[in-house]
Amino acid sequence: MNSVTDSAPPRAANPPADAPQRMLHFHVLRHDPQDPVSIPHFDVFELEEAPGMTLFIALNVIREQLDPSLAFDFVCRAGICGSCGMVVNGRPGLACRTLTQDLPAEISLAPLPAFELIADLSVNTGKWMRGMSERLETWVHSLGQEVDLARLEARMDPELADRIYELDRCIECGCCVAACGTARMREDFMGAVGLNKIARFALDPRDHRNDEDFYELVGNDDGVFGCMTLLGCHDVCPKQLPLQTQIAFLRRKMVKAGL
Amino acid sequence: MKVVYTDVLVIGGGLAGLRVAIGARRRGHDAIVLSLVPPKRSHSAAAQGGMQASLANVTKGQGDNEDVHFEDTVKGSDWGADQQVVRMFVNTAPKAVRELAAWGVPWSRVRQGDRQVIINGEQVTITERAAAHGLVAQRDFGGTRKWRTCYVSDGTGHAMLFAVGDRAIAEGIPVHERTEALALIHDGKRCYGAIVRDLITGELTAYVARATAIATGGAGRVYRVTTNVVICEGIGAALALETGIVPLGNMEAVQFHPTGIIPAGILMTEGCRGDGGLLRDVNGHRFMPDYEPEKKELASRDVVSRRMEEHIRQGNGAKSRFGEHLWLDITLLGRKHIEHNLREVKEICQYFLGIDPADQWIPVRPAQHYTMGGVRTDHTGQTPTLRGLFAAGEAACWDMHGFNRLGGNSVAETVVAGMIVGEFIADFIESPEGELDIPTAVLRDALEAERGKLDVLLKGSGREQADTLKAEMQQTMTDNVGIFRTGADLQRAVDKLQELLVRSRNIGLRSRRDGPNPELVTAYRVQKMIKIALCVAQGALTRTESRGAHFREDFPRRNDAEWLQRTLATWNDPLATLPTLNYEALDVHRMELPPGWRGYGNKDYVDHPDTPQRAAAVAKLREAATDAGRHAVQAALMPYDHLLPASLRGRNERIDEKLPT
Chain B: give the shortest CA distance to residue A133, in Å.
7
Out of A7, A14, A172, name the one closest to residue B40 (CB).
Answer: A172
- The answer to whether the beta carbons of residues B408 and B270 sit under 8 Å apart is yes
- DSSP class of residue B555 equals B
Q: What is the distance in angstroms between the Cα of A3 and the nearest Cα belonging to chain B?
A: 8
The answer to whether the Cβ–Cβ distance between A165 and B104 falls below 8 Å is no
The rounded Cα B270 to chain-centroid distance in angstroms is 15
CB-based contact, A156 to chain B, within 8 Å: yes
Confidence grade of residue A12 (pLDDT, cut at 50, 70, 90): very low
Following DSSP, what letter does each residue of B594-616 receive, concatenated?
-S---SSS---EEPPTTHHHHHH
State the pLDDT at residue B603. Answer: 87
Provide ipTM, 2 decimals.
0.95
| Per-residue pLDDT tens over the stretch B428-459 | 999 999 999 999 999 999 999 999 999 999 99
User: Is residue A2 pLDDT above 50, yes or no?
Assistant: no
Q: DSSP class of residue A140? A: -
Angle at B139 between CA B136 and CA B141, to 5 degrees: 140
Instruction: Report the residue from A4, A17, A134 with minimal CB separation from B169.
Output: A134
Residues 490-549 of B with CB under 8 A from A: 509-511, 513, 515-519
Write out chain B residues lying below 8 Å of A78, CB-based: 46, 229, 264, 266-267, 348, 352
Burial B419-443 (b: 16+ CB within 10 A, else e): bbbbbbbbbbbeeeebeeeeeeeeb
Is the pLDDT confidence value at A5 over 70?
no
Question: What pLDDT shows up at residue A146?
Answer: 81
Residue B493's alpha-carbon distances to B498, B523, B548, in angstroms, are: 8, 21, 21
Q: Which residue of B230, B336, B654 to mutate against A (max A Cβ within 10 Å)? A: B230
DSSP string for residues in B131-169: GGTTSBPEE--TT-SS--EE-STT-HHHHHHHHHHHHHH
Enumerate residues 102 to 131 of chain A having a beta carbon within 8 A of any beta carbon in chain B. 118-119, 122, 124-127, 129-130
Q: Do A74 and B230 touch (CB under 8 A)?
A: yes
Residue B495 pLDDT grade (very low, low, confident, very high; cuts 50, 70, 90): very high
- DSSP helix/strand/coil, B279: strand
Q: In angstroms, what separates the C-alpha of B659 from chain A's closest C-alpha?
A: 8
Sequence-separated (6 or more) residues with CB below 8 Å from residue B475: B224
β-bridge partners, B583: B567
Whether the predicted pLDDT of A3 surpasses 90: no
Confidence of residue A8 (pLDDT cuts 50, 70, 90): low
Judge whether residue A145 has pLDDT over 80. Answer: no
Q: Of residues B158, B186, B210, B257, which has the active-site annotation?
A: B257
- Kindly indicate the confidence band of residue B277, based on its pLDDT and cuts at 50, 70 and 90: very high
| Sequence-distant (≥ 6) Cβ neighbours of residue A146 within 8 angstroms | none
Q: What are phi and psi of B267, to 5 degrees?
A: -75, 135
Given this model, what pLDDT does residue B322 score?
A: 86
B contacts of A71 (beta carbons < 8 Å): 516, 518
B257 is catalytic: yes
What is the rounded average pLDDT of the residues B360-383?
A: 97
Contact A165 B177 (CB under 8 A): no
| Contact (CB, 8 A) for B450 and B183 | yes
Distances from the Cα of A146 to the Cα of A149, A150, B99, B102, angstroms: 9, 12, 9, 9
Give how far Cα A111 sits from Cα of A33, A41, A73, A175, B130, Å: 13, 12, 10, 11, 52
Q: Does A54 touch chain B (CB under 8 A)?
A: yes
Closest listed residue to residue A114, CA positions, set A24, A29, A32, A175: A175
Q: What values do phi and psi take at B275, rounded to 5?
A: -85, 0
Instruction: Compute φ and ψ for B137, nearest 5 degrees.
Output: -90, 160
**Angle CA(B448)–CA(B452)–CA(B455) in degrees, nearest 5?**
135
Residue A115's pLDDT is 97
- Say what the pLDDT of residue B245 is: 97
Position B227 pLDDT exceeds 70: yes
pLDDT digits (tens, 9 = 90+) for B97-121: 999 999 999 999 999 999 999 999 9
Which range has the worst mean pLDDT, A9-13, A181-185, B59-63, B541-545? A9-13
Is residue A16 very low, low, confident or very high in pLDDT (cuts 50, 70, 90)? very low
Interface residue A50 vs chain B (CB under 8 A): no
B residues 331-350 closer than 8 Å to A (CB): 331-332, 340, 344, 347-348
Tell me if B482 sits within 8 A of B524, measured CB to CB. no
Alpha carbon distance B495, B421 (integer Å): 38
What's the one-letter identity of residue B136? V
* Average pLDDT value for residue range B651-659: 97
Query: Is B511 within 8 Å of A156 when comparing Cβ atoms?
Result: no
Question: What kind and span of H or E run contains B413?
Answer: helix B409-430
Residue A1 has pLDDT above 50, yes or no: no
Residue of A nearest to B471 (CA): A64
Task: Note the pLDDT tens digit of each residue in A25-64.
Answer: 999 999 999 999 999 999 999 999 988 899 999 999 999 9
Q: List residues bridging with B267 in a β-sheet.
A: B260
Contact B360 A35 (CB under 8 A): no
Mean predicted lDDT score pLDDT of chain B: 96
The C-alpha atoms of residue B638 and residue B87 are separated, in whole angstroms, by 9
Confidence of residue A10 (pLDDT cuts 50, 70, 90): low
Q: Which chain A residues are Cβ-neighbours of B135 within 8 angstroms?
A: 152-153, 155
Cβ-based contacts of B152 with chain A (< 8 Å): 165, 168
Q: Cβ of B230 and A77 within 8 Å? A: yes
Burial letters B256-292, b for 16+ CB under 10 A, else e: bbbbbbbbbbbbbbbbbbbbbbbbbbbebbbbbbebb
Q: What three-state secondary structure class fits B309? A: helix
Cα separations in angstroms, B438 against B63, B208, B210, B426, B444: 54, 9, 10, 20, 11
Q: Which tens digit of pLDDT belongs to each residue from B139-189?
A: 999 889 999 999 999 899 999 999 999 999 999 999 999 999 999 999 999
Beta carbons of B352 and B266 less than 8 angstroms apart: yes
Find out whether B269 and B338 touch, Cβ atoms under 8 Å: no
> Is A18's pLDDT higher than 70?
no
Could you tell me what percent of chain B has a pLDDT over 90?
A: 94
B280, B283, B348: residue with CB nearest A78: B348
Q: Which of B19, B29, B43, B273 is catalytic?
A: B273
Gap between the Cα atoms of A90 and B432, Å rounded: 59
Nearest to B155 among A119, A126, A169 (CB): A169
**Cα distance between residue B410 and residue B272, in whole Å:** 17
pLDDT for the residue B263: 85
Contacts of B38 (CB under 8 A, 6+ apart): A83, A125, A126, A129, A130, A172, B13, B175, B177
Distance CA A152, CA B563 (A): 42
User: If residue B34 lies in a helix (H) or strand (E), which one and from where to where?
Assistant: strand B31-35
**CA A143/CA B240 separation, integer angstroms:** 41
- Average pLDDT over every residue of B277-290: 96
Per-residue pLDDT averaged across B190-207, rounded?
Answer: 97
A68 touches B at CB < 8 Å? yes
Angle between helices B487-504 and B518-542 (to 10 degrees): 150
Rg (C-alpha) for chain B, rounded Å, is 24
pLDDT of residue B264: 86
Instruction: Please answer yes or no on whether B170 and A8 come within 8 Å at the CB atom.
Output: no
Instruction: Give pLDDT, residue B281.
Output: 96
Question: What single-letter DSSP state applies at residue B172?
Answer: T
User: Is the pLDDT at A181 greater than 80, yes or no?
Assistant: yes
Verify whether residue B654 is a known catalytic residue: no
Mean pLDDT of A158-173: 97
Q: pLDDT tens for residues A212-237?
A: 999 999 999 999 999 999 999 999 99
What long-range pairs does A86-92 form, CB within 8 A, spacing at least 24? A86/A55, A86/A110, A86/A111, A86/A112, A86/A121, A87/A111, A87/A112, A87/A113, A87/A178, A88/A55, A91/A179, A91/A236, A92/A174, A92/A175, A92/A178, A92/A179, A92/A236
